[in-house]
Amino acid sequence: MTNMMTRACFLLLLLVPSLSKAISVSIWQYGPSLCGNNNGYATASVSGGTPPYTYLWSNGANTEEVQGLAPGTYSVTVTDALLDEATAQVTILIGENTIYTAFSGAGLHGCKNLCNGGRNIHEDAIPANLVQPLSFWPPLDVDNGGPVGGSYGQYTTLCPGQILQFFVTDATGCELEIIDTWYPESSDPSPMGILGVTPTCSGMPTGTVTIHAGIDDTSPFASLWDVVILNESMQQVGGPIGGLNTTQGQNIATRPGLAPGNYYAKRYFTWHPAACQDMVPFTITDLGTDCGILSGTAFVDNDLNCTRQTNEPFVPGMIMEVLPGPYYATTSGNGQYSFTLPSGSYTVQQQSSTLGEHCVGTPIPFTINAGAYTTVHHADTSLVPLDVSVSLSSGAARPGFEFQYGMLVRNHTPSSSGAISTSFTFDPTVSFIAASPAPTTVVGNTLTWNQAELTAWQSRYITIRFQVPPDVGLLGYELVANAIVSTANSDSDLTNNSATNLRTITGAYDPNDKLAYTSNGNTSVWQINEDQWIDYTIRFQNTGTDTAFNVVITDTLPPNLDPGTLVMGSASHSPFSWELRGESTLRVFFPNILLPDSNFSEPLSHGFVGFRIRPRLPLLPGDEITNIANIYFDFNPPVITEPSVLVATTGTGVEDPAVHRLAVHPNPVTDHLQVRVQPDAPRVHRVFAADGQEVHVTGTWSNDVFMLEVTQLSPGLYLIQLGGGTARFVKQ
């Protein structure tokens, strides 16, 4: 019995090793002997076997890690609980006395062309087998006396790209040279600029300045920049300017409450306030003593009690008109507006087709007394449940070059639109390259975006790029593009849910110009009793030798254009800001546009912005609507466009009727073509094939939309005449 038990135990012992993985050992970490001293180290790593393990190094050490090793070869033998063994060896070399590192602690931000950066010397930048305490040469500018929080201290006043070279000596006298290169960890800010100032009366601190801070919003150091206002004596006026929208790349803020005088906007980096700073001067004009201030707020008065509650939304971007004058102002994002006016009696009225003041009735009378403040609020109610619009603008179209459209979809009301769908049909002559954001679908020459709702007064920008064929035979050809937006919730005004853009392919041209298209597609005449509005496009190009950081456009509207009817359109770059001020001056801001010069990138050096406006009526035959724009690239003198001139006429055949376009969708079409016309337009239609033969095609009306049944048409190009306008479409 005993023999059987002994044999069983022996068999069990024989079986146990076969149930576990064989033991193995490796040296997973080791360090050299610095300066030939006994400061090398090695660590064994065991796998398999049956713990616990015992270690025996060739120098007699019996721990997993050994330190204090002189140069030489060492071995370790590991034995497990079942007496299985494994062996590994390592050679400790004499370490180099020069260490190149790409990281010796976090870099401290430095400013452009200034040697005021810095580098923290962290514990992990120094070899671990040096014996504490350590000393540095040159001495650290900021010495923490040891690894306090992982840092020994700092070297400061470094220049971008400078070689950082220092020596560290340990307690044994071992000296190492450490070499690193320092670069700033955030990019330099772009130039700061003054976007606009408003004057004030003597003794009344109500002047304002609007500043573009030029801060790199992608930098982790963006929040460490401050902008303050200094007076002529270099004393700070108020605290740092708030509201710098660095998260969206705009960097725009307005400082109110300034008295007449000379000032500076000062930008500085809080870590290096003395060295990292720049200043831009500006002046708040003194309008004298015989004037006062009108201010107020526009808001949606949901509970109809004529006072604003905290949950009632402000009305942004609303044009306010004061008469006599006229004078204009635009409400800010929080619905506020202000005027500085001579003493006298006036009225104020907001220019809106979607909102109306309901407590007093407009226009609202008020009086300006010298040196006094007057407040007029606008408690609004919605005149329509929902109004969403789409607008189109485009740049220059030239054979062989890129061509760009800008599309803007905007909610003009405080109501939600529900989900929206926007389609864009382009001329098949050009080739689609890309759009931002990318379209949901691309079918033939129609792009469609299916997007989430537009909330109160929200806008959405879309840019679309095309390639024009390198065919000089296209010179003079007119590109036609149509856009249509539809909303899940019912839209009360469908007249602005579609837009048509006409652009003639040209050769050589002035890259900074102002173009006009009337509602009937005219470019040089205004047809009395037929045209309704004008679409202006201001185009610009950076033909300089360096990047333009900011572009500002000013347009002083002529007396025969009505500023109260202005509707801002789309642009090549977003976001952008605009305001209407004074006696009808439109200012458009492209902050931080980073527009490259044409030598660096010709396609990217272009930009444009559009707006729609109506003339003041009546216009008499022969009257001219003349308008120019001033384009400022950073701090350079303005580029002044050639005048855009429209001549009022009573004729209907002054220009080629082929340019009097309708809005058609989709194009190409397979079964039903949607045709949009002006209200009260004649409802007689004619359709012509490409050979000029008239074809019979039926259709039905719904308000101002005509649905043309084209199923029976053969594939090809057709022309429709309807309501005094024409449009081309392709039947697939």
Average pLDDT over residues 15-39: 76
Q: Which pLDDT tens digit goes with each residue over 305-334?
A: 999 999 999 999 999 999 998 999 999 889
Domain 193-284: state its class. Answer: mainly beta
Residues 416-435 pLDDT 10s = 999 999 999 999 999 999 99
Superfamily, domain 662-731: Immunoglobulins (2.60.40.10)
CA distance 132 to 174: 11
**Which residue spans of the chain are classified as CATH 2.60.40.10?**
662-731
pLDDT band at 546; cut points 50, 70, 90: confident
Rounded distance, CA 55 to CA 46, Å?
10
- Looking at residue 705, its pLDDT comes to 79
How many other CB atoms are found less than 10 A from the CB of residue 471? 12
Q: Which of 81, 82, 90, 83 is nearest to 45 (CA)?
A: 90
CA dihedral over 43, 47, 51, 57, signed as positive or negative: negative
The encoded tokens of residue 568 equal 């801002």
- What sign does the dihedral 126-130-131-137 (CA atoms) show? negative
Parallel, antiparallel or unpaired: strands 378-382 and 291-300? parallel
| Domain covering 384-508 in this structure, CATH number | 2.60.40.1510
Provide CATH 2.60.40.1080 ranges for the chain. Answer: 18-92
* Paired tokens of 28: 């997973």
Q: Over the stretch 463-503, which tens digit does the pLDDT of each residue have?
A: 999 999 998 888 888 899 999 999 999 999 998 999 999 89
Enumerate residues 6+ apart whose C-beta is below 8 A from 274. none
Q: What is the pLDDT of residue 129?
A: 80
Per DSSP bridges, beta strands 459-467 and 672-676 are: unpaired
The torsion angles phi and psi of 580, rounded to 5 degrees, stand at -110, 125
Residue 256 has phi, psi (to 5 degrees) of -90, -175
Provide the pLDDT for residue 180. 81
pLDDT in tens, 571-602: 999 888 899 988 899 999 998 788 999 989 98
SS percent in the chain: helix, strand, coil, step 5: 5, 50, 45
What are the φ and ψ backbone dihedral angles of 18, each rounded to 5 degrees?
A: -70, -15
pLDDT of 732 over the 90 cut: no
**Strands across the sheet containing 142-148:** 107-108, 117-122, 151-158, 142-148
Q: Does domain 18-92 have CATH number 2.60.40.10?
A: no
pLDDT at residue number 183: 64
334-392 tens-digit pLDDT: 999 999 999 999 999 999 999 999 999 889 999 999 999 999 999 999 999 999 999 99
User: What would the pLDDT profile of 176-192 be if each residue is shown by its tens digit?
Assistant: 888 887 766 545 567 78
Q: Which fold has domain 510-653?
A: Immunoglobulin-like (2.60.40)
**Average pLDDT, integer, range 558-579:** 92
Q: What average pLDDT does range 32-42 have in this prediction?
A: 85
- Going by their DSSP bridges, the two strands 252-258 and 639-640 should be labelled as unpaired
pLDDT at 128: 78
Whose tokens are 């980096």? That residue is 269
- Helix (H) / strand (E) element for 255: namely strand 252-258
- pLDDT on residue 13: 39
Q: CA of 5: how far to CAs of 2, 16, 112, 521, in Å? A: 5, 16, 86, 109
Question: The domain 300-382: what is its CATH number?
Answer: 2.60.40
Q: How many residues can be counted in the chain?
A: 732
